[in-house]
Amino acid sequence: MSLAIPVSATDHAQGAADAPVTLVEYGDYQCPYCGAAYGVIQSVQKRLGNRLRFVFRNFPLNQAHPMAELAAEAAEAAEAAGAQGKFWEMHDALYENQKRLGQELIQTLVERLHLDATRFEADLTERKFQARVKHDFMGGVRSGVNGTPGFFINGQRYDESWDEEPLTAALLKAAS
């Protein structure tokens, strides 16, 4: 399957837009497999350097992970809070503290990341980023994602092992 919604400037991306390979992950902050993949992705990013662009899209599986949508909206709010652009810092902190995921952790992270707490809380209360999270989710559904993590390499579904060595090999092959 192919990525139904192409990567664009509105995506959360690390790495150059003209990198020879783009890895898209549809992820859920409460999913233990996504938590394991988080470390793999970091290692792969270090190994591939400027040859890789990594894109993260929200895919909260609310039935199985009741805190996942809150976490996704919190990451989006961290990006917007006071125009501080803290998505990646919140993304990383949510995965690094996955076992403590909940309102208390999010409040701690708001303080640690020096976000505008009033605006952040208002954005979450008003569900300001619910539509963004749903847009990511529906793009994943349209792309055939049925579990997390869901990966695409240069727009094509990647269903092989996402252990570091096989994923790196697939990315290097796609980059050549």
Structure tokens at 131: 């539509």
Q: In this prediction, what percent of the chain has a pLDDT beyond 70?
A: 98
pLDDT for the residue numbered 88:
94
CA distance linking residue 11 with residue 50, whole number of Å: 18
Look up the pTM and report it: 0.94
Specify the DSSP element, H or E, that contains 95: helix 87-96
pLDDT for the residue numbered 62:
78
Q: What is the pLDDT of residues 8-31, one digit of tens each?
A: 999 999 999 999 999 999 999 999
Does the pLDDT of residue 108 top 80, yes or no?
yes
pLDDT for the residue numbered 7:
97
Q: Chain centroid to CA 150: how far? A: 10
Q: What is the pLDDT of residues 59-86, one digit of tens each?
A: 999 788 989 999 999 999 887 754 568 9
Specify the DSSP element, H or E, that contains 156: strand 156-158
DSSP 8-71: -TTSEEES-TT-SEEEEEEE-TT-HHHHHHHHHHHHHHHHHGGGEEEEEEE---TTT-TTHHHH
pLDDT for the residue numbered 64:
87
Q: In this prediction, what percent of the chain has a pLDDT beyond 90?
A: 82
Contact 125, 49 (CB under 8 A): no
Contact 59, 150 (CB under 8 A): yes
Q: What is the pLDDT of residues 139-166, one digit of tens each?
A: 999 999 999 999 999 999 999 999 999 9
Domain boundary assignment for the chain: 20-175
Confidence of residue 130 (pLDDT cuts 50, 70, 90): very high
CA distance linking residue 114 with residue 59, whole number of Å: 26
pLDDT for the residue numbered 82:
44
pLDDT for the residue numbered 63:
82
Average pLDDT taken over every residue of the chain: 93
CA distance linking residue 5 with residue 11, whole number of Å: 10
Q: Tell which CATH classification among 1.20.1440.120, 3.40.30.10, 3.40.50.720, 3.40.1710.10 matches the domain 20-175.
A: 3.40.30.10
